[in-house]
Chain A
Amino acid sequence: MNRKLLWGVNSIILVLLVISISISYRYLNPSETLMLNCSSELFDRHKGDSDKGRHYLLVDVIAKGKQAQFNYRYFNLDGSSAGNIRMKGSLLNYDSDANKYSFSVKTKEESEVEDEQRQPEHMQYLSYVSSFNLDNKGMHNLSIETLDLDEQKDYAIVLFQPSNTVCGCRLVH
């Protein structure tokens, strides 16, 4: 194999490596900003159709650079706090084609429970699922995919996985 051919092959390999390293770096160090505010009406159906089973939920999703934070704030109908869950983690990947953000949650803080009976079922559910993953795997992976987006009107319909939850959110700038 002559020297010119060797250099040619080496150059091709070098170019391929540079491309793959730059792509790897981009994907391993995603830097996207996502700020969502989602408000929901919660209904605990086993409590029947009474007001006892009704709560409000405000979810704030903040992803900036590699950092990500999820605040779940639960309220009673009178506006008093019914609990909160704060999760922190990192942005693992952003797929621009699918408009999908993948996160890894590493830590979780929950407000102390005074009366579990009064705690919204949605909060119990979220607490259980996230603790299950954090205790067993040391992380709780989730993704947010945009199903419908209108930046003019500042809203997005998103799909949370793996919970398979659709939610309408306000885009925060």
Chain B
Amino acid sequence: MQLGSCQFDIQRAQLTNLENGDVWHLPRAELQVLKLLIANRNRIVAKQKLGAADEEHPPLSDSSVTRAVFMLRSFLGPEHEQLIETVKSKGYRLRGEAKHTQWAQMVKLKRGLILGLMIVAIVIAIALVSQFSKSGSTTEPYNVTPLTLLSGQQIKLISYSKSKTNNESLMSVITQFSAGFKGCYSAPWQDIYLSLSHDEQVFNITMRGEKLGQSVVRNLKLSDFRQQKQFISEAWLDEVALCE
């Protein structure tokens, strides 16, 4: 028989809290009071009746009845202590209907549900954290080639590619481009960044260096939509004057 979150086993004279598993073997006063309250559920039962003597035991004093009610309420817990209602100057009343339900199964189901929800919540939280805190790594250059000018100055040719394979076109254009520095004694550039667009239609050159203590950057973008592309030509290299 269910009383709040507790199950009352009349045969064994014990109350079991199904939430925390506590078991209380009821003393005589508590057992008598609870039995009478259950037998008169939703009806007021006078203190005298609750403490009446039976065949085996003497009557309970009013204070014993009061203490028994207090102990029963304590065991029912703050959420369910109101099940035993005090009706001033009249006695006590056990509220609610007796539920001869499969409470234990329901509690098990409830526990399983709570556990399941907890696991789902933890998985979601971990997934969210890992998803959003995941940082992409920085893009590494595909190739870095040093270029030595006549003065001994070194320039780095740094190329970027979306793929680590099939970059023949890129390397071929870079070779043609680096020919533009062959006659250079020196140049204001330190690093030259190169990339071929994903569809190989645009060749991008970014030259970075210093001139008179100032940072200089020059961007060159060469477009060629033809099937047979020729991004770099000698005439173009002369035109753009890479050494200056």
B-contacting residues of A (Cβ < 8 Å)? 1-3, 6, 9-10, 12-13, 16-17, 19-21, 23-24, 26-27, 38-46, 49, 57, 95-100, 120-122, 125, 145, 147-148, 150, 153-155, 157, 159, 161-170
Contact between A165 and B125 (Cβ–Cβ < 8 Å)? no
In chain B, positions 97-141 with a C-beta closer than 8 Å to chain A are 111, 114, 118, 121-122, 124-126, 128-129, 132-133, 135-139
Whether B193 lies near A166 (C-beta < 8 A) is yes
A164 touches B198 (CB 8 A): yes
Question: Are A166 and B204 in touch, CB under 8 angstroms?
Answer: yes
B contacts with A: majority SS: mixed
Interface string of B5-23 (1 = CB under 8 A from A): 0000000000000011100
Partner of B125, one of A13, A121, A122: A13
Task: Decide if B88 is an interface residue (CB 8 Å cutoff).
Answer: no
Task: Check B224 against A45 for contact (C-beta < 8 Å).
Answer: yes
How far is the CB of A22 from the nearest CB of chain B, in Å? 10
Contact count band on B: 35 or more
Asked if residues B20 and A27 are in contact (CB atoms below 8 Å), the reply is no
Assembled-state Cα–Cα distance A99/B229 (Å) = 34
Whether the Cβ atoms of A121 and B139 lie closer than 8 Å is no
Among B132, B162, B219, the residue within 8 A (CB) of A23 is B132
Residue of A2, A100, A155 touching B20 (CB-CB under 8 A):
A2
Contacts of B219 in A (CB 8 A): 38-41, 167-168
Check A98 against B136 for contact (C-beta < 8 Å).
yes
A16 touches B208 (CB 8 A): no
Interface CB pairs A-B, < 8 A, 13: A1-B20, A13-B125, A42-B223, A44-B223, A45-B224, A99-B138, A122-B223, A150-B215, A161-B162, A162-B198, A164-B161, A165-B197, A165-B204
Contact B193 A163 (CB under 8 A): no
User: B125 contacts A19, CB within 8 Å?
Assistant: yes
Decide: B195 and A164 in contact? CB cutoff 8 A: yes
Hey, which chain A residues are within 8 Å of B21, CB to CB? 2
Min CB gap B199→A, angstroms: 8
Known: A121-B225, A157-B193. A167 touches B206 (CB 8 A): yes
A3 touches B126 (CB 8 A): no
In chain B between 160 and 189, which residues have their CB closer than 8 angstroms to a CB of chain A? 160-162
**B58 CB to nearest A CB, Å:** 38
Task: Using CB atoms, name the residue of chain B closest to A3.
Answer: B20
B154 contacts the other chain (CB 8 A): no
Name the residue on A nearest B77 (C-beta). A3
